Amino acid sequence: MKHIAMLLLVAAVCPAAVAAPAEQGPRERVQALRTDLDAGKFQEAAAAARAFIGGTRDDQARTEAMEILAVALRKQGDWRPAAKAYADLKERYEKGSAACVRAEATAEVLLASPKGVYLPGSAFSGGAAAGTLADDKVLEEALGRVGEARAEKLKVAAADLKKAVSSKEIAAKFAEIIAALQSVRYLKADLPTTQDREAAEAAGAALDRVEKDVVAKLKPKIAELEQTITARHTVSAAQRKQLADYQDGLGQISAAEESFRATLGKVPKESWAGGAAWVGLGAGSGKRSGECTQLTNTCRLLQAVGSWR
């Protein structure tokens, strides 16, 4: 009896000594937040997410809680804080990833609509009425229109390739366009792939134009140096410097062509009807690279004249 009385006394003074529930870890707390969100308890989910974000050291759990906070704020129509939450969330993701692109675009859409009202494209033709960005379907359509707008700007960028003055510039811009089109598809998955093909064809034509001009100017200069150096069996310091400059320029062209072919491999396969155009662009690049390699080898051999003696 005394033993039982003692246990009852301990339980009365310190209930935790009898039944101490295990403290929830970060995973369990995030799951609880998600449960509130799924149940439509947006205010509760937002408040709890804020408190959790400020106190956790678990990096992944913090990111997930930030996702829940952003969605909860949007769902309850708290537009400005939601825009900031999505902008903050973007910084948690790898740059250029689907999650990063979508978070950034969502913040952009929310900032552009302070009252959260969105007019679907079909509304202009008497179709669907205006909705709010709290609706996931409405948000998805808004993101698609952001993607369309970005794609239109990329058409201009592709057209501007004809103004580029160096192979390096063309290859770099082409890579940027293809990467940007991939980002656009995170917002609008059904973006036509013809735009990728058109950019590839524009880049190929620009490289051909620029490099034909460069090679046409270099060929006679290298041939003249070859004739002079071969006749004298010696190469001067000035000639060696001249050949090194030519070799450097040709090397930049070869590097640009290599970059072009690498980017060409990232263009969606469905862009190429039958694949003939893709093969043609790759073959053209290979031919230009081969010509540059041949001239580079000539420069290298001429620079070595006299060192053999």
**Residue 140 forms part of a structural domain:** no
Q: What is the per-residue DSSP string for 266-304?
A: TS-GGGSSSSHHHHHHHHHHHHHHHHHHHHHHHHHHHHT
- pLDDT tens-digit profile of 58-114? 999 999 999 999 999 999 999 999 999 999 999 999 999 999 999 999 999 999 998
- 101 and 156, same domain (yes or no): no
Same domain as 107, residue 219: no
- Do 27 and 98 fall into the same domain? yes
Q: Are residues 104 and 173 in the same domain?
A: no
Let me know whether 80 and 189 are in one domain.
no
Which distant-in-sequence residues (6+ apart) come within 8 Å of 179 by Cβ? 96, 266
Tell whether 223 is covered by a domain. Answer: yes
Are both 157 and 290 inside the same structural domain? yes
* Same-domain pairing of 157 and 287: yes
User: What is the tally of structural domains in the chain?
Assistant: 2
**Mean pLDDT, to the nearest integer, of 20-27?**
68
Are 287 and 190 in a shared domain? yes
Cα angle: 201, vertex 202, 204; to 5 degrees: 65
> Buried b vs exposed e over 41-59: b needs ≥16 C-beta within 10 Å?
bbeebbebbbebbeebeee
Q: Number of helices and strands (H, E) in the chain?
A: 11, 2
pLDDT at residue 306, as a whole number: 63
Q: Which domain holds residue 224?
A: 148-303
**Phi/psi at 117 (nearest 5 deg)?**
-85, 135
In a domain, 128, yes or no: no
Residue 279 and residue 193 share a domain: yes
Total-model pTM: 0.81
Output phi, psi for 132, to 5 deg: -120, 155
- Each residue's pLDDT tens digit, 106-153: 999 999 998 898 876 644 444 556 789 999 999 999 999 999 999 999
Residues 202 and 57 in one domain: no
- Rg of the chain over all Cα atoms, to the nearest angstrom: 32
Residues 39 and 181 in one domain: no
CA angle, corner 184, sides to 182 and 188, nearest 5?
115
Note the pLDDT of residue 254: 96
